[in-house]
Structure 1
Amino acid sequence: MFLFGYTYAQKPNVIVIMADDLGYADVGYNGCKDIPTPNIDKLAKNGAILTSGYVSGPMCGPSRAGFITGRMQSSFGWYGNPGTPLDEQQGLPNNVSTVAQYMQEQGYVTGGVGKWHMGTAPHQHPNNMGYDEWYGFLSGGHLYYPMDHPSYNGKYLNTPKPWIMREMHHTLPIIHNNQPVEWNQYLTHELTDQGVNFIDKNKNNPFFLFMSYNAPHEYLEAPEETIAMFPEEKMTEIPGVKPEKRSVYAAMTYEFDKGVGKLIATLEKLNLTENTIVWFLSDNGGMKRTSDNRPLKGAKWSSYEGGLRVPLVVSWPGKIKSGSVLNAPVTTLDIGATSVALAGGDISKKELDGKNITAYITGETKEEPHEELFWRIGRNYKENSGVLRVGDYKLIVNNKKIELFNLKEDLSETTDLCEKHPEIAQKMLTRWKTLNQSSQPPLWQPLSKKEELSDEYQYKDYEWLKGSPHYRVN
């Protein structure tokens, strides 16, 4: 590969740092005033800010399924979140490959830390989906302290059975590969420490590391001393956000940013900085009740920019010009394709929907990577909804209703242009329908409340569940 006048032969390490439900304007480089994020801001200063960075879905499960596989998740039938974590049908099918598997093929050691959310059945376990090491939890969320933490007053130790599904997600064990582990600190700190361990352990090998944090996703929990740094009266006033929630959310984001700093410091200590490309992003837009997505409209779950456009930064010292601001639309699917290409893989022979954007982020070309971007969005297959972006125009399809916006002139999506430009709206709708033909029927159907409460979905005999209240020998 030819970069900035010389041949780059050594395979770069790749680290992807993903926040959970972080608002677009909740980082300093995007104007945040009430939450300091110096380490994320340093990444932005030393690398490139991708101002039109998109995820493949506006909610956790679909977005992460897209990133982890490098494919538009609707192409294999993924729409909503896996609601019942121990239902073996909910999650990735065994006939879909992951970016991590493609990196393994190129000789990379692959690691993941934190939130999986891709299913808990044996074939869905990260170790069977391309990750040599996984430290974290397989569900869609987690408590930030162990269940016996004094702040819980025994709530999760004495919860009457059956478990409600939200608490099922948040109390599955922390595991290292197939073994449950004990941990005794704030979870964001724990995950950061494990990421540091992975980097140090593999410093002499090309590695791919997915730092899949669950912060600042609810439940809202943070160290008391950190919350005290963010008094309610000093929180930015955001419509729909209560100051007391914003205070804890700010503390969680602050601790997450500290984790980013620790990871970057580890690269510097081990002299890996110039041979490591680091991506930072959120998995979707921030939640209405905690986050600031302004000036974008909407939030998590929304087809508006506030649900799909996220803070996105890429840093690669010596290859990406410091302080670059890149405005062309790119997506998280491009991270997978770019990573595999930099590792030496032929992405034309892989099932990847993203593009290799190395030349764009390094400044070798100013050509925009995408002529159009397609989304199929909806919590279930019956919702005939989605998005198409072509140039500055964005079409939102919501069952029988459509909306058209010019994002260059109207980033906040305040003025529907369907009546003013019916020919553009109709042309884009026809194109969206054509692209939507690739969308597949859903991988699973949500369980009824009665089914959720049955022992089949409350307990399993998986080795990694031993010691947890969700383990039972069938």
Structure 2
Amino acid sequence: MKPSIVFLIAFLSVLPLRGQSEERPPNIVIIMADDLGWNGLGCYGSELAQTPCLDQLAAEGMRFTDAYALSQCLPTRAAIFSGQYGARTGLTSVETSSPGYAPMISPGRPKALEPEVYTLFEMLRDAGYKTGMSGKLHLGGPLNTNSALKNKNRGMEYLHDYGLQWAGTATPNRNDKNVSAITDDIIEFIEENRDGPFIAYAAHRSPHMPLEVPPSSVQRAVDRGFKRSSNPRGLFSERVTADYVAMIEYLDSSIGRITDKLDELGIAENTLLLFLSDNGGLTRVWKNDPLRGGKGQLYEGGVRVPFIVRWPTKVKAGSTCTAPVHVVDLFPTFMDLAGAQPRKDQILDGVSLVPLLKQTGSFARDAIFSHHPEYVVGYAKTPCSMVRKGNYKLIHYFGDYLDPTGCVPGGAGALYGRFILGSRTELYDLKQDPGETQNLANDMPQVAEELMADLESWWSSTGARMPMPNPNMDRSKWKWNKND
């Protein structure tokens, strides 16, 4: 046989071996809770809710202590899909307008995440992933996958625009906020696409209000000494109730069903599973202590969220990451893992978390930002922005401020706080004061000026829509509580 033929045969015989040795991109499972506070899990210090499945997930993976979302549902979900801050997409709040007599006029926002935005799921689809989700969509159009599928004019086409190839109905609701149905859907999708790679997104509506959970789960919490709630919307005077604790615990059990399925299919080793919440806990029904504030606000209780990643072959079990991260980081992270590239005209505001997950290389994060130019009356938030850089965090209120010190919301949707007219800047050292009790703006003016300059530069680079003074402000109508 000629030497050239022998060489060719030898070369061809090696090719399959090389191909087999190439690292497969991981499957990705995202499980999102709705309004779960940073301290809502046992692995984050909760002594109220019992969360063995999520505690086990943290023991087998990495727990992030300083992970950030936006302060409400829609902005966080849009940021995950787009990889961009709400200041860039315009999706900064659920609310679309301000009270006509308020001190500031909010700039408004787009109705929904624009279809031309190249989403996380489109990127992964183009990289060869199967993409599917079930549950709360909330990008400004249909609230959930079921309502999107029922749309007579577009149906699945609407979901395709965002890169989703498969969607579950998230039904029926078994008196459990659709938790079991969403979990059923995600398990079905995983089974159908077990050969991978796939991304499965379980977007839950729990423990968001109203309270809804099987009576047997509530009874278990009652047996431990918690009282039943008298109002399905929750009352501040009753927090924390058996019903709310039961919602967290019931959600926790659903995570166990998904991890068990991954184990059963033999694909857990190469599956990255992420659990997080879309914003902080609602203070009417949950105590975010030691963090200040809650859902709808830019204090830590409103924007810092539980964030756990398990990836057995790559992430060290039982590890903890204290670096500040943000939900906009998910797009570049998954793009990195999929070996994909951004579009030429695409701007991503996040940073890949792969160096943190693998504990190799450097993590280039300068600062984290958030922009909320709208009023969220029910959550005591006036138009404001924030920046965190290192241990320091600055919050800037544009024209008025609500000081909730000493005030509490009396019931569902109640207003609270002491109204203060005029702009305001607050500075906190989160390392020394995670509860944001000491405003250092006057004590450390140079730090405050530096962070304010960073914030102003960021507004400019993102094209942030800004609130403006309202010439029609009517102070007599602008009442936050009976003492105003």
Q: CA RMSD in A?
A: 2.6
Change in CA separation of 1:89 and 1:379 when aligned onto 2, cut-off 3 Å:
closer
Corresponding residue number in structure 2 for 1:71:
84
Is 1:422 matched with 2:445?
yes
- Cα distance, 1:94 vs structure 2: 1.9
1:32 to 32, 38, 46: 46
Corresponding residue number in structure 1 for 2:333:
338
Q: Specify every segment of 5 or more residues in structure 1 that has no aligned partner in the other structure, as ranges.
A: 1-6, 137-173, 175-180, 443-474
Change in CA separation of 1:15 and 1:232 when aligned onto 2, cut-off 3 Å:
same
In the alignment, the residues of structure 1 paired with residue 429 and residue 368 of structure 2 have an alpha-carbon distance, to the nearest angstrom, of 15
Task: For 2:353, give the aligned amino acid.
Answer: I
Contact 1:82 1:91 in 2 (8 A): no
Corresponding residue number in structure 1 for 2:161:
128
Q: Secondary structure at the match of 2:275?
A: strand
Change in CA separation of 1:48 and 1:96 when aligned onto 2, cut-off 3 Å:
same
Q: Secondary structure at the match of 1:92?
A: coil
Corresponding residue number in structure 2 for 1:60:
73
Contact 1:192 1:263 in 2 (8 A): yes
Change in CA separation of 1:223 and 1:73 when aligned onto 2, cut-off 3 Å:
same
Q: Secondary structure at the match of 1:42?
A: helix
Is 1:45 matched with 2:64?
no
In the alignment, the residues of structure 2 paired with residue 35 and residue 343 of structure 1 have an alpha-carbon distance, to the nearest angstrom, of 36
Task: For 1:389, give the aligned amino acid.
Answer: R
Contact 2:353 2:363 in 1 (8 A): no
Listed one character per residue, the Cα deviations across residues 24-49 of structure 1 (whole Å, up to 9, x for unaligned) are: 11100011112111111111000011
Is 1:219 matched with 2:186?
no
Corresponding residue number in structure 1 for 2:100:
none
- Cα distance, 1:369 vs structure 2: 3.7
Listed one character per residue, the Cα deviations across residues 40-65 of structure 1 (whole Å, up to 9, x for unaligned) are: 1111000011101111x101111111
Change in CA separation of 1:440 and 1:429 when aligned onto 2, cut-off 3 Å:
closer
Contact 1:232 1:243 in 2 (8 A): no
Q: Specify every segment of 5 or more residues in structure 2 that has no aligned partner in the other structure, as ranges.
A: 1-20, 98-108, 143-150, 228-234, 399-422, 467-484
Q: Secondary structure at the match of 2:168?
A: strand
TM-score, reference length from structure 2: 0.75
- Cα distance, 1:383 vs structure 2: 6.3
User: Structure 2 matches for 1:455-470, cutoff 5 A?
Assistant: none
Structure with higher Rg: it is 2
Task: For 1:93, give the aligned amino acid.
Answer: E
Contact 2:175 2:212 in 1 (8 A): no
Corresponding residue number in structure 2 for 1:389:
388
Contact 1:61 1:82 in 2 (8 A): no
Task: For 1:431, give the aligned amino acid.
Answer: D
User: Structure 2 matches for 1:147-166, cutoff 5 A?
Assistant: none
Task: For 1:415, give the aligned amino acid.
Answer: Q
Change in CA separation of 1:82 and 1:68 when aligned onto 2, cut-off 3 Å:
farther
- Cα distance, 1:368 vs structure 2: 4.1
In the alignment, the residues of structure 2 paired with residue 291 and residue 182 of structure 1 have an alpha-carbon distance, to the nearest angstrom, of 28
Aligned residue pair count: 386
Is 1:12 matched with 2:26?
yes
1:401 to 421, 424, 427: 424
Contact 1:34 1:234 in 2 (8 A): no
Q: Secondary structure at the match of 1:310?
A: strand
Task: For 1:432, give the aligned amino acid.
Answer: L
Q: Secondary structure at the match of 2:371?
A: strand
Give percent identity, aligned residues only: 30
Contact 1:284 1:307 in 2 (8 A): yes
Contact 2:86 2:370 in 1 (8 A): no
Corresponding residue number in structure 2 for 1:353:
349
- Cα distance, 1:215 vs structure 2: 0.5
Change in CA separation of 1:38 and 1:8 when aligned onto 2, cut-off 3 Å:
farther
Listed one character per residue, the Cα deviations across residues 62-116 of structure 1 (whole Å, up to 9, x for unaligned) are: 11111121111220211221679xxx96221222121001111101000111101
